[in-house]
Amino acid sequence: MSIKNRRRRARFLVLALWSILAGLGIAAPAVADTPPLEGPFATYFNPLDPPAKAPPVAFRDLNGDAVRLSDFHGKVVVLNFWATWCPPCIREMPSLDRLQAALGAEGLAVVAISLDRGGREVVAPFAKKLGLTRMGLYLDPKWKLARPLGLSGLPTTYIIERGGGIVGVVNGPAEWDGPEAVALLRHYLGKPARSGTRSQSTAAGTVPGG
């Protein structure tokens, strides 16, 4: 038998096997969930698979009301920790605001949490000065959420899938409305919520890279 005929026969056998498995209700092996990582994000983004569980800790909005990450269930969350005294944070904030404008309608929520001790009195006028009008601005002056996540520097950004699991972390500033970041986030926007997040003890103080 020629090499060409052998290859043709092998392809036929593979297709036949898949047909039999499908008929028996047995799914083919799942393809690994590999997000598209290009340009700087190939270095910046540290994926977590399976996802880590986010702590069920409350932080505050600018009105002083309690908010939890579970309130954003069903959305892909870009959870950014920053402060007004952090120059790299200030540089990336406008790109986060543009990102919210670009992908908000697709189910993305930018949740930017300030660690400033001065709270709203510091953050609100600062955001107005920068013209930040699209993304959500929140407060965590006592590190109630930042600490259990094991935060070690600013800015730090966690990507949270629709089901609430932390799927990756970026340490340092990034151009969040750039093509590489948008491609990465659309990867998760196109996926349904999934179960199977790690227990909190292996997530964070804990989230690798946090």
19 and 59 both lie in a single domain = no
47 and 123 both lie in a single domain = yes
Is pLDDT at 76 greater than 50 in this prediction?
Answer: yes
175 and 79 both lie in a single domain = yes
Q: Express each pLDDT in 104-154 by its tens digit.
A: 999 999 999 999 999 999 999 999 999 999 999 999 999 999 999 999 999
CATH code: domain of residue 168: 3.40.30.10
- What is the domain count for the chain? 2
25 and 68 both lie in a single domain = no
Q: Express each pLDDT in 5-23 by its tens digit.
A: 444 554 444 344 434 444 5
State the SS3 of the chain: CCHHHHHHHHHHHHHHHHHHHHHCCCCCCCCCCCCCCCCCHHHHEEEEEEEEECCCCCEEECCCCEECHHHHCCCEEEEEEECCCCHHHHHHHHHHHHHHHHHHHHCEEEEEEECCCCCHHHHHHHHHHHCCCCCEEEECCCCCCCCCCCCCCCCEEEEECCCCEEEEEEECCCCCCCHHHHHHHHHHHCCCCCCCCECHHHHECECCCC
Q: What's the pLDDT at 49?
A: 87
Expressed as residue numbers, the domain containing 10 is 1-30
Residue 208 inside a domain? The answer is no
pTM of the model: 0.79
Residue 192 inside a domain? The answer is yes
21 and 97 both lie in a single domain = no
